[in-house]
Amino acid sequence: MQMNRSLIQAFALYFLFSIKAMAGDILLNGEKVEQVEWEQLMPADYSLDGLFDDRDLGALDDLDPKTALLMDELQQALQSAPIVPEMDGKMIKIPGFVVPIEGEDQNVFKFFLVPYFGACIHVPPPPSNQIIYANYEPGVKLESLYDAVWISGKLKTKTFSHELASSGYTMDVYRIEPYEMNN
């Protein structure tokens, strides 16, 4: 009887450790979900730092045609930022802010996910490799655009252009949840 009890305890411990190990891996549609930070969507050597190094930006006047050309150049650089090809097809979870593109009432079906509040609406958009065009067929009811969310789904290295911005990535979203630090 003692042998069976030890065997049962050993099996129970093994089972508990297996459950705990599996609990750390989130599965979505049968695939492991990787939590991603925005920096991972940019190539390691990517930077906008050198774009205006040789120009005296303080000397430009808003009405100067050179200023308009410079802004066009900046927009082009932001809209064509390089992506990370290895991210294509990954099931990921990433936090961000919703910029609605298509919806009905407060129910949003298509949106940009951006890393900071106000991007594309109150301030110029971030580089395209820092914007995800998201499609969530059931739609999500947004109470406030000020609240960050987590989205989980299949990321694709496919560009999307809209009058608000251009994205370097698209995502078929399977889950949206409120942002919490421990998520």
Provide the pLDDT for residue 69: 79
The answer to the question of residue 90 being in a domain is: yes
Q: What is the domain count for the chain?
A: 1
Say which CATH number the domain at 45 has: 2.40.50.870
Quick one: pLDDT at residue 16? 34
Whether 174 and 121 have beta carbons less than 8 Å apart is answered as: no
What local confidence, expressed as pLDDT, does residue 182 receive? 59
Q: Which residue reads 């990787």 in tokens?
A: 34
20 found inside a domain: no
Tokens 């065997």 -> residue = 7
The whole-angstrom separation of Cα 130 and Cα 78 is 9
Residue 23 located in a structural domain: no
DSSP state of 2: H
Q: What is the pTM of this model?
A: 0.76
Walk along the chain (183 residues) and give the pLDDT tens digit of each residue: 444 444 444 343 333 333 333 445 788 888 999 999 999 999 999 887 766 566 666 677 778 787 777 777 777 777 888 999 999 999 999 999 999 999 988 889 999 999 998 777 667 789 999 999 999 998 988 888 889 999 999 999 999 999 989 999 999 999 999 998 755
Q: What angle do CA 100, 109, 38 make, to 5 degrees?
A: 60
Residue 1 lies in a domain: no
How is the chain split among helix, strand and coil, in percent rounded to 5? 30, 35, 35
Residue 58 falls inside a structural domain: yes
| Within-domain flag for 44 | yes
- Does residue 158 sit within a domain? yes
What are the Cα distances from residue 98, in Å, to 61, 138, 156, 158? 34, 15, 18, 19
Name the residue range of residue 98's domain: 31-178
Does a structural domain hold residue 79?
yes
